[in-house]
Structure 1
Amino acid sequence: MEDFSKNNLAKASSPYLQQHSHNPVWWQEWNEQTLNYARDQNRPLFVSVGYATCHWCHVMAAEAFNDRDIAEYLNRNFICIKVDREQRPDIDSFLMSFLVETQGSGGWPLNVFVTPDIRPFLAVTYLPAKQQQGLPSFVEVCRLAKDAFEEHRGKIPTFHAEPNADIEYAESDVAGAILAVADQENSGFGSAPKFPPHSTLLFLLSFYDRRRDLAAARVIESTLDAMMLRGLHDHLQGGFFRYCVDAHWTIPHFEKMLYDQAMLLWVYSSAYKALGKQEYGVVCERIVKCLGETFMSGEGLFYSAHDADTSHHEGGTYLWDTDELRLLLSQKEFSEFESVYDVSTAGNFTGTNHLIKRKAEWLPEIEEKLLNVRRIRPQPFTDRKIVTSWNCLAGIGLIMAYRSLGDQKLLAMSANLFDRLIEKHYLKGKLCHSSLGGKRQEAEFLQDYAALLLFATYLHEEGYDREQIINEMAGKLNRFRKLGWIESSNEDFVEVSATAYDHPIPSSISMAEFALLRASVLLGRERPKIEYGTALESDFRNIAAFYAKGNWHEIGAEHKISWKYLPLNSIQRRTSKVMDCFGGKCLEFENEQEAIESLAGA
């Protein structure tokens, strides 16, 4: 029997939970035992959801959860539960839906007061320990929650997170809506903060490859250039930060997420293929370098993330002042550096410089010299959790980089990643969501089965026989289909509908539908119908719909044709005859060279 009168996070399989193991709050993990104890005590739950590299989660922990008076109040009146959103996307999605519905917007830390039978009744994000800048103190809100529970405990309604309405759109509606909201001044979409729009760019690239729409090309190129040249990009190490806080893409929130590296490797590889801009190929090579040097575990799998903070200072590892740069570089080197990088004595971040570029040039020797200095500085915390779905996306990104760059090592790296995932995370027919230090998480989610199926289809296309695992994963997806898709049906939580929101990674639904479509093409089976979804929200699904409506070349041949001869919108399958099925028609050819010449003239 667990002792609930103490903090029990020390043995958690989540770095985020372990970060809170020394708080005076009696944190528990989310599980049946904790829920049963709360029901027996008839005490409300205080559920705090975050993740290991979340800046404001760290701030609230330091201000509120380390305060002994606040902790004493929480311990006396609530059963306190910490949840890693990256481990439990079902709990995060359900409670975030409640927060957004009741407060109008969301974010992390996500703090929700919940009845013991899982009915949320009050939700907030970050709150200070003491009242400031118009925000109530955290304890004030805790008192409101305690009083509300005592007064209304029998009347608190059950919350249902409703899935998005299934509205069908036309191709022109989707493309037009995306282009209409493009930021013509600063690039990207919308105003600050600026997140990398992975799925939207992938859809636009597919759309451009088919339609040769010049407006789409301009939006793609301006957005990719802004992300490549300005503050989102780590110009020394390679790779990208999570988002920029300003509309000009100057200052990032300095955390680095595996899923951003995975999706941007996919995006820049596709852009290099479709637009032929050499700089995008260099960006791909440097993302791969970043993955290998800073995300790769000893098991051949990728870690989840790197924190935004170093020793409680945001971005501390990455910032430079001009005096330091002049000291480290020769006069000639500094002059050359200053011609490429926009640095100043005043700086652009609290008197220091976060590096941004004036132009798309690389200075390998100088940049490596500065990177070596940066490597000996204190480093941000690394979340060493291994997440199945994110590793699958990284594997697909590596395959797309191989197709664009022609580097066979990238394909081998991806195949090895797949094998390690199966070895470590798929046991006895059960695919675990994450692990830490070999300890696997038991909960199962649609996103992992969908992502692994999608990954398997890309490897199968490359000549690695993955038919058996494709069949297994496709069959297991049926467990997550009821009246609609569900994300999970774990015993310790309510059934949660799957989301269709393709940001920051493709949604579980979109990955499942695209994976099933690709599997049906590769294995010669009946194809599912996929309709367009809402622009900017469901653009990964829109890629699948664009494909399903005949806008991709289905290349059939006995042997794989080199990707350098094929358009971006291509899928290859093994057939006895050489053929190209496209736009509702199939053409047969005498040989592969004839097919290549036909594609070149298209």
Structure 2
Amino acid sequence: MKALPTLPALITACFLIGGCDRAPVDDETSREPIIAPELRANQVAEAPSTFLHHAGNSKIHWQRWNPDLLQKAEDSQRLIFALIGSARYPGSYETLSALEGDPDIVSRLNNDFVPVLVDLDICRETALMASALSAEARTGVSFPFLLLLAPDGSPVSWLPIRYENDPALLQFFDNSVEVLARLWAESPKYVLEDSAAKTTLRKANIPAVDPAVDDPDERDTLYRSSIRRLTSFYDEDVQTLAGTGGLIPLGVLEAISVASIHPDLPDDLKERSTRTRDGLLDAILHSAIIDPLDGGIYTARRGSSWNLPIFIRDCATQARAIRIFCRLHVEGANPDTLDSAKQAASFAESQFRTSEGLFAMAAQPSPTPDGDWLWTIEQLKAVLTAEEYKVWDTLSEFDRLGNLPSEADPQRRFFRLNSLALRKSFEDASTESGLTEAEVRTLAESGRKKLLKAREERFPSPRPDGTPSATASFRMVSAYAALHTATGDPVWKEKAQKLGKLCRESFGDARFLNERPGDNPEPMSDGRALTYAIAAQAAMDLGAVTLEDEWNLWAQDLCTLLGENFVSGGDRLDEARPGSKVINLDYEDRSMVFGDSTAGLTRLNLSRLAALGFQTPPALHPWTESIPPIDENPVIYTDSINALAHGKLRHRIAVGPDAPAPMADAIAALPLERFERRSARQPGGTVEIIGPDRQASTLTTVAEIKALDSTKD
């Protein structure tokens, strides 16, 4: 969309230079402001978010993100000063601490604005808004994000905050708050009219909906073109795929792995997909993005190297990685993926499981690790014995000048520092070190424990968060279900079943989902559209491994609620329900800016429901036909690409209630999504399978069922 100049650009310039030209002074005499009592005190102490109630003792009168804000801002004749962040985004904690520690800024925010603190993990529409506004200003989105709103909800100005240090941040805020307060005081009419005009223009310029593609041949052509283009981005020499950005490319890995077994792709493209998958996966598995000390998976890298992560982990990333790693494993990828999935599950349980048995999204807000997470040679030798150091040196490739490539650290901020990673297999380390593989494993493990203890002493991990998250908890249901299909171990199925029931009781006991436990959610924690899509996916995953059809029925109910309450204009998926909206601007979440998109995951869910024999909820029918430009920019549409592939791979299995237990167990262990399962009346306990060609056949033995999953041979 074309950038919008004038006021946002004017104020952004003011942010940078600390002053601006005077706007026209209003001629009208302002009425007396009415300050609601709530604006005179901090309102986030009991908020449904640890990130928010962490600031509950702040002297800033932080308010919650809900529609009532607009009336309070109008009555008080103040701009809304919204700071959007999260405990899982670096700089959010530091920004809050710096603002709260400056008395002048505290006073200005309390007296001149309606200060609002927003957790983007529960108010996801604010993250989408930040992304859209950043694109409008031709800059990348980052958090925390400052958003100034007029009392009618129109954006006035915005700016991503890239935290570096307290003095720089305070100077920025000092200048920006002063300028905005003066501009609003001198000419509120000008600000209101300009921001309202820009909002009207934004509504007119919202991108068109994704076009419907009805012709099967055209859909097949789009799929082949997107996979061909996706694999063309891969550089085998450096094992990287251009255009994936800093997030761990889980969606890309899944899409090319699916393509490697797709029956309608030519052999050369399937072979290229396999090479791309294996090369990219090898680079990820043997990098610092997977922590070798505790098994946790980092969400993203900084710069160009996976050996320099952003040292923050969250539960959703662990769960999503587990599910996709398990899929990669059952489709014949690197066997280390299953070990990584199990380690990530252990890490998630130790760091994010709450006392109720649910899962939090992230740990409590805390300073972001930086160089403290890296090691000098001297620090490593002080912790490890000579034999342990030799093994870890072989595995991580230490260097006295630091083992990060110069392109990953061009400013040499981490000069002489080393990241830890299992860059080599234990077998290769054995050959290189002259030790037996058993000795390498023993020394690596004893060294791991010492290094983990030393790191905790240098920079303690943030304390666990006791606030359960619907998104994280439903994601872990899917993770457990995937681990069952990858291992056949009933323990994982039992965990999935127990957590699924608890999630349904905690987040879905009322008619609508809630982002946090409770029957009567306030607008802030009312379930967002992506939460419904994630919950529906988890329900079908649970139905697949338990063979209990009630979960498939609940998934259909969730999709029906999604269609009835989140679709506007007949063809757009809004992220928040009308009663929970603050800003009257709707950007459909159709591309993977923050992981799975709402539209892409919904497409996959609808395809799975159709395979199970359910009718598509009428309001969601457009998403069964529409396709985004997957062939132009496949990296950000891999969830929609996977939804398109699902129709060609899916098999529907009807399982009779009298099916022998060994047959039922074998069916439950089949890969998710490729085999959709329902309970049905089958004669004599037999099993019926209907393939993508809609041809039915009957299975009567465990061997026949296991033969369906040829990738496990």
Contact kept, 8 Å, 1:188 with 1:197, in 2: the verdict is no
User: In the TM superposition, what is the alpha-carbon distance from 1:375 to its structure 2 partner?
Assistant: 4.8
Which residue of structure 2 lines up, in the alignment, with residue 303 of structure 1? 360
Following the alignment from structure 1 to structure 2, what is the Cα–Cα distance between the partners of residues 568 and 471? 16
Which residue of structure 2 lines up, in the alignment, with residue 367 of structure 1? 448
Alignment partner of 1:433 is 2:433: no
Which residue of structure 2 lines up, in the alignment, with residue 406 of structure 1? 488
Which residue of structure 1 lines up, in the alignment, with residue 700 of structure 2? 591
User: In the TM superposition, what is the alpha-carbon distance from 1:342 to its structure 2 partner?
Assistant: 2.0
Match of 2:152 among 113, 117, 128: 117
User: In the TM superposition, what is the alpha-carbon distance from 1:290 to its structure 2 partner?
Assistant: 0.8
CA deviation vs aligned residue, 1:10-30 (integer Å, no higher than 9, x gap): 232222223333444332222
Which residue of structure 2 lines up, in the alignment, with residue 509 of structure 1? 599
CA deviation vs aligned residue, 1:459-487 (integer Å, no higher than 9, x gap): 11221342442343233122223312222
Identity of aligned residues (%): 17
Which residue of structure 2 lines up, in the alignment, with residue 152 of structure 1? 191
Alignment partner of 1:487 is 2:568: no
Match of 2:677 among 562, 572, 586: 572
Alignment partner of 1:224 is 2:281: yes
Contact kept, 8 Å, 1:268 with 1:281, in 2: the verdict is yes
Following the alignment from structure 1 to structure 2, what is the Cα–Cα distance between the partners of residues 183 and 134? 39
Following the alignment from structure 1 to structure 2, what is the Cα–Cα distance between the partners of residues 374 and 290? 16
Following the alignment from structure 2 to structure 1, what is the Cα–Cα distance between the partners of residues 483 and 167? 48
Contact kept, 8 Å, 1:197 with 1:504, in 2: the verdict is no
User: In the TM superposition, what is the alpha-carbon distance from 1:172 to its structure 2 partner?
Assistant: 1.3
Matched positions, count: 598
User: In the TM superposition, what is the alpha-carbon distance from 1:457 to its structure 2 partner?
Assistant: 1.0
User: Residues 135, 442 of structure 1: CA spacing in aligned structure 2 closer, same or farther, 3 A cutoff?
Assistant: closer
Which residue of structure 2 lines up, in the alignment, with residue 464 of structure 1? 548
Q: Which amino acid aligns with 1:553?
A: H
Higher helix proportion, which one? 2
Contact kept, 8 Å, 2:606 with 2:616, in 1: the verdict is no
Which residue of structure 2 lines up, in the alignment, with residue 78 of structure 1? 113
Which residue of structure 2 lines up, in the alignment, with residue 423 of structure 1? 505
100-109 or 199-208, which moves further after superposition?
100-109
Following the alignment from structure 1 to structure 2, what is the Cα–Cα distance between the partners of residues 53 and 596? 41
User: Residues 494, 72 of structure 1: CA spacing in aligned structure 2 closer, same or farther, 3 A cutoff?
Assistant: closer
Contact kept, 8 Å, 1:453 with 1:474, in 2: the verdict is yes
Higher strand proportion, which one? 1
Following the alignment from structure 2 to structure 1, what is the Cα–Cα distance between the partners of residues 50 and 671? 43
CA deviation vs aligned residue, 1:426-482 (integer Å, no higher than 9, x gap): 22222101259x998642321122221111111112213424423432331222233
Which residue of structure 1 lines up, in the alignment, with residue 396 of structure 2? 341
Match of 2:645 among 546, 550, 557: 546
Alignment partner of 1:173 is 2:225: yes
79-88 or 372-381, which moves further after superposition?
372-381
Which residue of structure 2 lines up, in the alignment, with residue 449 of structure 1? 532
CA deviation vs aligned residue, 1:27-82 (integer Å, no higher than 9, x gap): 22223443322111221111110112322223433444532222333333221111
Alignment partner of 1:499 is 2:589: yes
Following the alignment from structure 1 to structure 2, what is the Cα–Cα distance between the partners of residues 61 and 291? 26
Query: SS of 1:111's equivalent?
Result: strand
Following the alignment from structure 1 to structure 2, what is the Cα–Cα distance between the partners of residues 282 and 547? 26
218-227 or 487-496, which moves further after superposition?
487-496
User: Residues 227, 384 of structure 1: CA spacing in aligned structure 2 closer, same or farther, 3 A cutoff?
Assistant: farther
Alignment partner of 1:215 is 2:297: no
Contact kept, 8 Å, 1:589 with 1:595, in 2: the verdict is no
Query: SS of 1:79's equivalent?
Result: strand
User: In the TM superposition, what is the alpha-carbon distance from 1:514 to its structure 2 partner?
Assistant: 1.9
Following the alignment from structure 2 to structure 1, what is the Cα–Cα distance between the partners of residues 42 and 554? 41
Q: Which amino acid aligns with 1:126?
A: I
Following the alignment from structure 2 to structure 1, what is the Cα–Cα distance between the partners of residues 89 and 417? 23
Contact kept, 8 Å, 1:259 with 1:505, in 2: the verdict is no
Following the alignment from structure 2 to structure 1, what is the Cα–Cα distance between the partners of residues 111 and 616? 59
5+ residue gaps, structure 2, are 1-35, 214-218, 404-413, 427-440
Which residue of structure 2 lines up, in the alignment, with residue 328 of structure 1? 383
User: Residues 555, 13 of structure 1: CA spacing in aligned structure 2 closer, same or farther, 3 A cutoff?
Assistant: closer
Contact kept, 8 Å, 1:254 with 1:315, in 2: the verdict is no
User: Residues 360, 434 of structure 1: CA spacing in aligned structure 2 closer, same or farther, 3 A cutoff?
Assistant: farther
5+ residue gaps, structure 1, are none
Which residue of structure 1 lines up, in the alignment, with residue 297 of structure 2? 240
User: In the TM superposition, what is the alpha-carbon distance from 1:337 to its structure 2 partner?
Assistant: 2.4
User: In the TM superposition, what is the alpha-carbon distance from 1:193 to its structure 2 partner?
Assistant: 5.0
Query: SS of 1:195's equivalent?
Result: coil
After TM superposition, the score normalised by the length of structure 2 is 0.76
Which residue of structure 2 lines up, in the alignment, with residue 187 of structure 1? 239
User: Residues 130, 375 of structure 1: CA spacing in aligned structure 2 closer, same or farther, 3 A cutoff?
Assistant: closer
Following the alignment from structure 1 to structure 2, what is the Cα–Cα distance between the partners of residues 113 and 138? 13
CA deviation vs aligned residue, 1:498-532 (integer Å, no higher than 9, x gap): 31123433122222232232223224546963454
Following the alignment from structure 1 to structure 2, what is the Cα–Cα distance between the partners of residues 532 and 115? 36
When the two chains are superposed, the root-mean-square deviation of aligned CA atoms in Å is 3.3
Following the alignment from structure 2 to structure 1, what is the Cα–Cα distance between the partners of residues 96 and 516? 24
User: In the TM superposition, what is the alpha-carbon distance from 1:217 to its structure 2 partner?
Assistant: 1.3
Following the alignment from structure 2 to structure 1, what is the Cα–Cα distance between the partners of residues 350 and 165? 42
Within 5 Å, which residues of 2 pair with 1:57-136?
57-126=92-161
Contact kept, 8 Å, 1:308 with 1:314, in 2: the verdict is no
Contact kept, 8 Å, 1:130 with 1:137, in 2: the verdict is no
Query: SS of 2:393's equivalent?
Result: helix
Which residue of structure 1 lines up, in the alignment, with residue 83 of structure 2? 48
Following the alignment from structure 2 to structure 1, what is the Cα–Cα distance between the partners of residues 384 and 694? 61
Which residue of structure 1 lines up, in the alignment, with residue 319 of structure 2? 262
226-235 or 10-19, which moves further after superposition?
10-19
Query: SS of 1:277's equivalent?
Result: coil
Following the alignment from structure 2 to structure 1, what is the Cα–Cα distance between the partners of residues 517 and 709? 45
Contact kept, 8 Å, 1:498 with 1:509, in 2: the verdict is yes
Query: SS of 2:603's equivalent?
Result: helix
497-506 or 163-172, which moves further after superposition?
163-172
CA deviation vs aligned residue, 1:556-580 (integer Å, no higher than 9, x gap): 4444334667798333344526444
Q: Which amino acid aligns with 1:402?
A: H
Contact kept, 8 Å, 1:44 with 1:114, in 2: the verdict is yes
Alignment partner of 1:142 is 2:167: no
User: Residues 142, 261 of structure 1: CA spacing in aligned structure 2 closer, same or farther, 3 A cutoff?
Assistant: same
CA deviation vs aligned residue, 1:157-211 (integer Å, no higher than 9, x gap): 2243835641456111210221122244433433685311122221211111224
Following the alignment from structure 1 to structure 2, what is the Cα–Cα distance between the partners of residues 449 and 134? 37
User: In the TM superposition, what is the alpha-carbon distance from 1:392 to its structure 2 partner?
Assistant: 1.5
User: In the TM superposition, what is the alpha-carbon distance from 1:155 to its structure 2 partner?
Assistant: 3.4
Following the alignment from structure 1 to structure 2, what is the Cα–Cα distance between the partners of residues 154 and 271? 53
Q: Which amino acid aligns with 1:537?
A: I
Query: SS of 1:153's equivalent?
Result: helix
Query: SS of 2:56's equivalent?
Result: coil
Query: SS of 1:356's equivalent?
Result: coil
User: Residues 600, 259 of structure 1: CA spacing in aligned structure 2 closer, same or farther, 3 A cutoff?
Assistant: closer
Query: SS of 2:40's equivalent?
Result: coil
User: Residues 600, 251 of structure 1: CA spacing in aligned structure 2 closer, same or farther, 3 A cutoff?
Assistant: closer
Which residue of structure 1 lines up, in the alignment, with residue 370 of structure 2? 314
Contact kept, 8 Å, 2:99 with 2:170, in 1: the verdict is no
User: In the TM superposition, what is the alpha-carbon distance from 1:497 to its structure 2 partner?
Assistant: 4.3
Larger radius of gyration: 2
User: Residues 185, 7 of structure 1: CA spacing in aligned structure 2 closer, same or farther, 3 A cutoff?
Assistant: farther
Alignment partner of 1:17 is 2:52: yes
